[in-house]
């Protein structure tokens, strides 16, 4: 590997992990593997401001082909995607998804769906009942399939020079989103994905992630020895958040989501909404 490539790699690792964690990876000799795909993955960032130009049909077909190439448990393929470009529909979905401008102004919104409705249709055609659809495992299969497909789509979109941002708030009002998209029973929206040409006037940065000394466990999960890495990450991400004009503590974000009563808002009713959608969750 040339010095130029090594410098490119270390710079990418520093953007993704911060200086300390990146140098830990390089110091272990773990930085030797490098190619254009890994470089693209390490450069991933959320884009929330797009040019108004539409995503071409060719690009959309390529993105969905990449999504279809994701792994699927037993090849069940329990996912679908709804492509939304209608401005009025995008405005309504934006209202349901936290009034996010990225959704309202999206050139393209892809809604990834955990889809057991197709299995229900197959069962109906063969005179069978979906006796196993009410188990939590069945819902998880659909969620995992949809998530794997969506992430393949992100990588494909970015390889085409497009930007993306996931929209978890698509789950804020699952009943209303299902109605807006005419989703059948035994299906629900897992996550949205805005896709478009990034606005060059708005620079988006690579957000530092937890170091490998926190997320990588060997043989068995360990806890206490990760505390130093957590503390280092808190310091690293605080600087990033400060530069972005955001509240600085990652730990406070975690606590705000999981240790503050009522923080989930309407999503606290997710179990009931999924039951109404045909998922028993037994």
What digits encode the pLDDT tens for the residues 146-197?
Answer: 999 999 999 999 999 999 999 999 999 999 999 999 999 999 999 999 999 9
Q: Can you give the pLDDT at residue 22?
A: 73
Of the candidate ranges 27-36, 151-160, 201-210, 214-223, the one whose mean pLDDT is the lowest: 27-36
Beta strands at 163-167 and 108-115: parallel, antiparallel or unpaired: unpaired
Looking up tokens 């005419």 gives 182
Q: Can you give the pLDDT at residue 218?
A: 92
Q: Nearest Cα to 105, choosing from 202, 181, 190, 174?
A: 202
Length of the chain: 282
CA gap 29, 170 in Å, rounded: 41
First to last CA, the chain: 53
Average pLDDT of every residue of the chain: 93
pTM: 0.94
Sequence-separated (6 or more) residues with CB below 8 Å from residue 245: none
pLDDT tens-digit series, residues 46-84: 999 999 999 999 999 999 999 999 999 999 999 999 999
CA gap 42, 212 in Å, rounded: 14
CA gap 165, 108 in Å, rounded: 11
Q: Nearest Cα to 159, choosing from 43, 71, 48?
A: 43
Domain ranges for the chain: 3-43+206-243, 57-202+267-276
Q: Which CATH number fits domain 57-202+267-276: 3.30.530.20, 3.40.109.10, 3.30.2090.10, 3.40.50.620?
A: 3.40.109.10
Q: Nearest Cα to 67, choosing from 200, 190, 198, 216?
A: 190
Within 10 Å of residue 181's Cβ, how many Cβ atoms? 18
Give yes or no for a contact between 78 and 115, defined as CB atoms under 8 angstroms apart. Answer: yes
* Whether the predicted pLDDT of 106 surpasses 80: yes
């Amino acid at each position: 590997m040339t010095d130029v490539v090594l410098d490119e790699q270390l710079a990418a690792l520093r953007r993704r992990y911060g200086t300390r964690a990146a140098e830990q990876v390089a110091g272990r000799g773990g930085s030797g593997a490098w190619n254009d795909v890994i470089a693209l993955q390490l450069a991933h960032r959320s884009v929330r401001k797009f040019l108004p130009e539409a995503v071409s049909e060719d690009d959309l077909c390529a993105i969905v082909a990449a999504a279809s190439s994701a792994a699927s448990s037993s090849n069940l393929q329990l996912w679908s995607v709804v492509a939304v470009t209608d401005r009025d529909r995008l405005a309504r979905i934006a209202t349901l998804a936290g009034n996010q401008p990225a959704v309202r102004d999206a050139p393209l919104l892809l809604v990834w769906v955990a889809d057991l409705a197709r299995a229900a249709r197959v069962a109906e055609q063969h005179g069978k009942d979906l006796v196993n659809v009410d188990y939590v495992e069945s819902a998880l299969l659909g969620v995992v399939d949809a998530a794997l497909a969506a992430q393949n789509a992100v990588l494909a979109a970015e390889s085409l020079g497009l930007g993306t941002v996931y929209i978890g708030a698509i789950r804020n009002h699952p009943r209303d989103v299902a109605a807006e998209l005419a989703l059948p029973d035994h299906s629900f929206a897992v996550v949205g994905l805005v896709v478009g040409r990034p606005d060059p006037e708005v620079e988006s940065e690579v957000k530092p992630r937890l170091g490998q000394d926190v997320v990588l466990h060997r043989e068995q999960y360990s806890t206490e020895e990760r505390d130093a890495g957590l503390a280092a990450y808190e310091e690293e991400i605080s600087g990033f958040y400060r530069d972005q004009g955001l509240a600085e503590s990652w730990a406070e974000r975690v606590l705000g989501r999981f240790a503050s009563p009522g923080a989930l808002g309407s999503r606290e009713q997710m179990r009931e909404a999924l039951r109404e959608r045909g998922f028993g969750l037994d």
